[in-house]
């Protein structure tokens, strides 16, 4: 669809990039290097704390302006992105009280406004997220962060650079939660009269970028924080411009015409043209699966044979082909690269005959199912053509599929409220198991049946529950990681979901960009990117 | 005439009320939940109830509407659930942005439609008429989002002479229509947006001018020896009220924004704003935008009526 742009276009784009000159210490001057990113979001992510716009908000705004007490290690592309020290240098659970986590905070870190990062600011940040008595409490930060903060009882200062966070019950995987809780400058918020709408005009964190300017709904600009505490992550460019561009064709055209330098999620059919135009296409596996969540409380999927039949009916290779190779088959809730949790789940082969046999055994042939799908949405990939293919494959395997096509908000509502209030046998809802707590355990434990948690289809296996409780009370990874692998294998055998594919997260970059390392994560580190003129 | 203006303005009140009641009801009837976009999927029912209370969604829908209306009559349209920014500022900013391309599109469409429609009216049934009519049908029939994408590919990607997206190199706040470096961002959206009104205004112009040309007074003018230009002037003047009425309607319609065009070009207008608000069930923004657009539509139609009166004194407004 798109052709190679003329040579002159590159020159024009380069000139348009050179927005202003900055003086160098030696008296010489160089063009400011600007990285312009087209996001898939329909609007700019919120920067008043916890971002909205899904994980794209965290990726580009949250982790640019702010840090968490715990951080993601996004430095490598060849291994799972786990957690590492962020604004805390270390943490441990109190051996005498498994509900008390002790964090040693990093010293010498300053917020962009010059205020110190210390125990007072850490405790204040935790408190504003959970207590409506805190003057800086806001419903949106409370709501957006709630799945990460619901287990926090309170935080306490133990020293200038030492805090304790108390959880409501023992939770060995608790530190993962803190990678999502972003630390704001207490000074800046108080200076804004604890009004985060006022604070939004000059947000202050400790992150690798400082807020520069915004045009609401259109663009936000950050400049590099040369004093960033993590010297290895001081940005290698001067400025970042983030542009919301929800229409994929527009994003591709903007990259090809030199209006932006990096685009998120080009559609598979545009990738050949982008490559032909000299653009870099980067992909990597990451914890993003595209399954059907099955209703196990009512309807045909109560029977494990029907659930397994659906998994046998899917030709995952054909789906990968439909997506031009930017996906891989999926057989579980994690991806194989998450080796600490993945184990050896059963790999359902494509076998429509077996599917029909199982359905006949289960007295459900043809097996009528009613599925809620979305037209778009965060992580939903190419929902319409993909669902059409799933329907075709399921019907060859003995199912009769009826779709209810909803917009993303309506599907979110179905997911949050759980299967009980809706007539669906399944919903197509993508999943991001970044961590084993919110991405896995809370989706399979009986305690977390929606609307209490994210176990939408009310999957329930007492054996799974027993192991899960045991692992949450085990604080040694050598003990709980094998348990996680065991659970993952059990959930796969139970066909908790219709596992289909996981995404390879394509991005397209201008040939002028260098140094980007695509981590196996929903989040990415853009600081190493250099821009040639 | 002032009585007429006052009456029309008063009539705008029940229109606005009706629009907001229907809109409010529809938002709650549609599947989805405004809180779904504000919370993660695994919050507990207790936390969800707390959020509902914090945002005021725990109150009965009529009470929520009454509270909203009470604030709206004082000019306070609330704040966006998503951004926390005042709705009035959001809407007025977006309308201003849409007005740039809507007015450009209507002017472009009117100019072209006037020429094509008049030529067609003068040559009814002949090839010129058929060509002009075909152009009008094409304008109405081509899906404008498709045309937008094609224009982007041709002019931004292939020829690289116009930008593909956005409203100026630094955003709408520094947009200046008199500066070509900024104004060029509006060219493709304007052309795309002009296609439908071009077809509609052209068809109206053709039928209005053709009708006038068949009237007795035109025969009289010809008998008196007036040249074609003078006859054209008389014909157009008589057809103008009808054309203006259609043009006004089109302007009102376009200021409402085109969700598809503004999304394709990432143009930060009312269509773009409303689309985002609907998808996230941002009720204050939906309500505020619809209210302002409804009032705007009434105002544009009133202005067109008054211009019609000025152009054609036979039309009395009492």
Nearest CB to B32 within list A12, A413, A450 = A413
A147 contact residues in B (CB cutoff 8 A):
40-43
Distances (CA, A) of B160 to A522, B151, B185, B188, B243: 33, 11, 12, 12, 37
Mean pLDDT of A433-438: 90
**Closest Cα of chain B to A35: distance in Å?**
14
Nearest CB to B47 within list A8, A150, A249 = A150
**Closest Cα of chain A to B147: distance in Å?**
13
- A245/B contact by beta carbon, under 8 A: yes
Contact map slice: A 408-467 vs B, CB within 8 A: 408-410, 412-416, 438, 442, 448, 450-454, 456
The answer to whether A294 and A308 have CB atoms below 8 angstroms apart is no
Choice between A125 and B18, residue whose per-residue pLDDT is larger: A125
Choice between A165 and B243, residue whose per-residue pLDDT is larger: A165
Mean pLDDT of B271-289: 88
In angstroms, the CA A441 to CA A447 distance is 10
Phi/psi at B160 (5° precision)? 55, 40
Gap between the terminal Cα atoms of chain A = 28
Nearest CB to A218 within list B84, B160, B167 = B167
pLDDT band of residue B293 (cuts 50, 70, 90) is: confident
The answer to whether B308 and B241 have CB atoms below 8 angstroms apart is yes
B39 contact residues in A (CB cutoff 8 A):
143-144, 146, 416
Contact B163 A146 (CB under 8 A): no
In angstroms, the CA A191 to CA B226 distance is 77
Contact A3 B45 (CB under 8 A): no
The top-scoring range by mean pLDDT among A188-197, A410-419, B286-295 is: A188-197
Nearest CB to B157 within list A8, A257, A452 = A257
- A12/B contact by beta carbon, under 8 A: yes
B44 contact residues in A (CB cutoff 8 A):
150, 451-453
pLDDT at A493: 95
- Interhelix angle B228-255/B87-122, rounded to 10 degrees, is 150
Mean pLDDT of B75-91: 88
Find, among A219, B138, A220, A375, the residue nearest to A211 by Cα: A220
pLDDT at A10: 40
pLDDT band of residue B251 (cuts 50, 70, 90) is: confident
A258 contact residues in B (CB cutoff 8 A):
160
pLDDT band of residue A234 (cuts 50, 70, 90) is: very high
pLDDT band of residue A25 (cuts 50, 70, 90) is: very low
- A140/B contact by beta carbon, under 8 A: yes
- Chain B residue closest to A138 (CA)? B54
pLDDT band of residue A24 (cuts 50, 70, 90) is: very low
pLDDT above 70 covers what percent of chain A?
95
The top-scoring range by mean pLDDT among A20-34, A266-280, B70-84 is: A266-280
Choice between B36 and A75, residue whose per-residue pLDDT is larger: A75
Mean pLDDT of B87-93: 92
Mean pLDDT of B65-88: 88
B47 contact residues in A (CB cutoff 8 A):
142-143, 146, 150
Beta bridge partner(s), residue A35:
A240
- Chain B residue closest to A429 (CA)? B41
Residue A196, SS3 per DSSP: helix
The answer to whether A265 and A506 have CB atoms below 8 angstroms apart is yes
Of A396-405, A470-479, B77-86, which range is least confident? B77-86
The answer to whether A42 and A246 have CB atoms below 8 angstroms apart is yes
- Chain A residue closest to B158 (CA)? A5
Contact A247 B264 (CB under 8 A): yes
pLDDT at A163: 98
Of A153-167, B114-128, B244-258, which range is least confident? B244-258
Average pLDDT, chain B: 87
pLDDT band of residue A7 (cuts 50, 70, 90) is: very low
Model confidence pLDDT, tens digit, residues A186-225: 999 999 999 999 999 999 999 999 999 999 999 999 999 9
B160 contact residues in A (CB cutoff 8 A):
5-6, 8-9, 12, 257-258
Average pLDDT, chain A: 92
Contact A408 B31 (CB under 8 A): no
pLDDT band of residue B318 (cuts 50, 70, 90) is: low
Model confidence pLDDT, tens digit, residues A490-518: 999 999 999 999 999 999 999 999 999 99
Q: Which residue in A244, A416, A440, A454 has the most chain B C-beta atoms within 10 A of its own C-beta, making it the best mutation to test that interface?
A: A416
pLDDT at B316: 63
pLDDT at B35 over 90: no
**Closest Cα of chain A to B165: distance in Å?**
7
pLDDT band of residue A438 (cuts 50, 70, 90) is: confident
Q: Output the CA angle A287-A77-A527, nearest 5 degrees.
A: 105
Contact B36 A413 (CB under 8 A): yes
pLDDT at A11: 41
The answer to whether A395 and A337 have CB atoms below 8 angstroms apart is no
Nearest CB to B153 within list A1, A6, A146 = A1
pLDDT band of residue A29 (cuts 50, 70, 90) is: low
Contact B279 A250 (CB under 8 A): no
B172 contact residues in A (CB cutoff 8 A):
215, 218
pLDDT at A28: 47
Contact B273 A217 (CB under 8 A): yes
Beta bridge partner(s), residue A91:
A103
B170 contact residues in A (CB cutoff 8 A):
215, 219
Model confidence pLDDT, tens digit, residues B135-163: 889 988 999 889 999 999 999 999 999 99
pLDDT at B317: 58
Q: Where are the alpha helices (DSSP H) in A282-377?
A: 304-313, 316-322, 339-342, 352-361
Distances (CA, A) of B133 to B109, B120, B204: 14, 7, 11
The answer to whether A58 and A242 have CB atoms below 8 angstroms apart is no
**The residue to which tokens 């409780």 are assigned:** A469
Q: Which residue in B171, B185, B265, B289 has the most chain A C-beta atoms within 10 A of its own C-beta, making it the best mutation to test that interface?
A: B171
pLDDT at A19 over 50: no
pLDDT at A6 over 70: no
pLDDT at A265: 93
- Chain B residue closest to A378 (CA)? B37
Kind of pairing between the strands at A497-503 and A152-159:
unpaired
Model confidence pLDDT, tens digit, residues B203-213: 999 999 999 98
- Chain A residue closest to B162 (CA)? A257
**The residue to which tokens 């207008």 are assigned:** B269
User: Would the pTM of this model clear 0.95, i.e. be above it?
Assistant: no
Contact A453 B42 (CB under 8 A): yes
Kind of pairing between the strands at A88-94 and A97-105:
antiparallel
Contact map slice: A 64-103 vs B, CB within 8 A: none
pLDDT at A27 over 50: no
Mean pLDDT of A365-374: 97
Mean pLDDT of B75-84: 86
Size of interface A-B (CB pairs under 8 A): 176
pLDDT at A459: 97
Nearest CB to B163 within list A42, A257, A453 = A257
Nearest CB to A257 within list B164, B172, B272 = B164
In angstroms, the CA A312 to CA A334 distance is 19
The top-scoring range by mean pLDDT among A41-45, A350-354, B9-13, B73-77 is: A350-354
Nearest CB to A249 within list B149, B171, B279 = B149
**Closest Cα of chain B to A192: distance in Å?**
15
Of A72-86, A438-452, A472-486, B10-24, which range is least confident? B10-24
A415 contact residues in B (CB cutoff 8 A):
41
A246 contact residues in B (CB cutoff 8 A):
263, 266
ipTM above 0.95, yes or no: no
Mean pLDDT of A62-72: 98
Contact A409 B264 (CB under 8 A): no
B157 contact residues in A (CB cutoff 8 A):
2-3, 5, 253, 256-257
- Chain A residue closest to B265 (CA)? A250
In angstroms, the CA B32 to CA A409 distance is 5
- A131/B contact by beta carbon, under 8 A: no
Gap between the terminal Cα atoms of chain B = 6
Mean pLDDT of A7-17: 40
B264 contact residues in A (CB cutoff 8 A):
247, 249-250
């Amino acid at each position: 669809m798109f052709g190679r742009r003329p040579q002159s276009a590159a020159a024009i784009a380069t000139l348009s990039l050179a927005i202003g000159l900055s003086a160098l210490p030696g008296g010489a001057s160089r063009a400011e290097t600007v990285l312009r990113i087209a996001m898939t979001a329909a609007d700019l992510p919120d920067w008043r704390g916890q971002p909205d716009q899904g994980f794209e908000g965290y990726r580009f705004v949250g982790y640019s302006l702010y840090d968490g007490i715990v951080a993601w290690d996004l430095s490598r592309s060849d291994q799972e992105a786990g957690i590492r020290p962020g604004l805390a240098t270390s943490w441990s659970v109190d051996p005498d009280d498994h509900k008390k986590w002790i964090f040693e905070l990093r010293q010498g870190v300053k917020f962009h406004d010059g205020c110190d990062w210390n125990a007072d600011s850490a405790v204040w940040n935790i408190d504003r997220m959970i207590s409506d008595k805190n003057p800086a409490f806001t419903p949106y930060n409370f709501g957006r962060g709630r799945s990460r903060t619901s287990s926090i009882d309170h935080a306490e200062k133990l020293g200038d650079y030492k805090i304790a966070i108390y959880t409501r019950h023992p939770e060995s995987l608790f530190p993962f939660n803190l990678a999502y809780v972003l630390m704001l400058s207490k000074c800046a918020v108080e200076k804004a009269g604890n009004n985060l709408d006022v604070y939004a005009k000059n947000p202050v964190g400790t992150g690798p970028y400082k807020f520069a300017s915004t045009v609401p709904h259109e663009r936000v600009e950050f400049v590099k924080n040369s004093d960033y505490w993590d010297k290895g992550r001081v940005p290698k460019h001067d400025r970042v411009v983030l542009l919301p561009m929800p229409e994929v064709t527009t994003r591709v055209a903007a990259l090809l015409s030199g209006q932006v330098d990096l685009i998120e999620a080009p559609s598979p059919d545009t990738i050949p043209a982008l490559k032909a135009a000299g653009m870099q296409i980067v992909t990597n596996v990451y914890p993003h699966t595209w399954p059907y969540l099955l209703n196990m409380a009512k309807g045909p999927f109560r029977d494990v044979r029907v659930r397994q039949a659906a998994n046998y009916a899917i030709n995952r290779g054909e789906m990968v082909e439909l997506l031009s190779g930017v996906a891989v088959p999926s057989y579980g809730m994690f991806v194989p690269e998450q080796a600490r949790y993945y184990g050896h789940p059963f790999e359902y082969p494509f076998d429509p005959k077996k599917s029909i046999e199982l359905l006949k055994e289960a007295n459900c042939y043809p097996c009528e199912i009613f599925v809620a799908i979305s037209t778009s949405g965060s992580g939903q990939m190419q929902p319409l053509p993909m669902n059409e293919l799933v329907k075709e494959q399921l019907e060859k395997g003995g199912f009769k599929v009826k779709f209810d096509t909803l917009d993303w908000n309506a599907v979110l509502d179905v997911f949050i409220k759980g299967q009980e209030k809706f007539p669906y046998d399944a919903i197509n809802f993508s999943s991001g198991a970044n961590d084993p707590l919110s991405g896995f355990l809370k989706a399979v434990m009986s305690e977390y049946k929606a609307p209490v948690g994210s176990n939408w289809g009310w999957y329930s296996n007492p054996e799974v529950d027993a192991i899960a409780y045991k692992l949450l009370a085990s604080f040694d990874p050598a003990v709980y990681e094998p348990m996680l692998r065991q659970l993952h294998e059990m959930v796969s055998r139970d066909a908790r979901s219709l596992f289909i594919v996981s995404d390879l997260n394509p991005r397209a970059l201008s040939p002028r960009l260098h140094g980007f390392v695509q981590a196996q994560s929903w989040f990415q580190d853009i600081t190493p990117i250099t821009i040639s003129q | 005439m002032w009585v007429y203006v006052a009456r029309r303005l008063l009539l705008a009140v029940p229109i606005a009320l009706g629009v907001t009641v229907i809109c409010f009801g529809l938002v709650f009837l549609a599947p989805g939940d405004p809180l779904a976009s504000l919370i993660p999927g695994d919050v507990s029912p207790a936390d969800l109830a707390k959020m509902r209370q914090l945002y005021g969604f725990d109150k009965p829908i009529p009470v929520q509407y009454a509270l909203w209306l009470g604030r709206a009559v004082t000019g306070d349209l609330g704040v966006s659930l998503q951004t926390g920014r005042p709705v009035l500022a959001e809407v007025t900013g977006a309308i201003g942005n849409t007005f740039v391309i809507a007015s450009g599109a209507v002017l472009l469409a009117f100019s072209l439609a006037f020429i094509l429609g008049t030529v067609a009216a003068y040559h009814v049934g002949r090839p010129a008429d058929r060509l002009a009519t075909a152009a009008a049908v094409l304008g109405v029939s081509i899906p404008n989002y498709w045309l937008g994408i094609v224009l982007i590919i041709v002019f931004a990607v292939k020829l690289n002479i116009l930008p593909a997206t956005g409203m100026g190199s630094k955003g709408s706040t520094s947009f200046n229509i008199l500066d070509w470096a900024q104004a060029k961002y509006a060219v493709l959206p304007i052309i795309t947006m002009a296609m439908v009104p071009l077809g509609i205004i052209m068809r109206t112009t053709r039928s209005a001018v053709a009708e006038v040309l068949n009237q007795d007074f035109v025969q009289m003018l010809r008998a008196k020896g007036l040249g074609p230009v003078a006859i054209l002037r008389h014909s157009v003047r008589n057809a103008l009220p009808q054309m203006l009425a259609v043009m006004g309607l089109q302007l009102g319609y376009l200021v409402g924004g085109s969700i598809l065009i503004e999304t394709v070009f990432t143009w930060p207008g009312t269509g773009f704003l409303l689309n985002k608000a609907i998808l996230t069930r941002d009720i204050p923004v939906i309500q505020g935008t619809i209210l302002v657009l409804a009032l705007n539509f009434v105002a544009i139609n009133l202005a067109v009526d008054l211009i019609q009166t000025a152009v054609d004194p036979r039309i009395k407004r009492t």
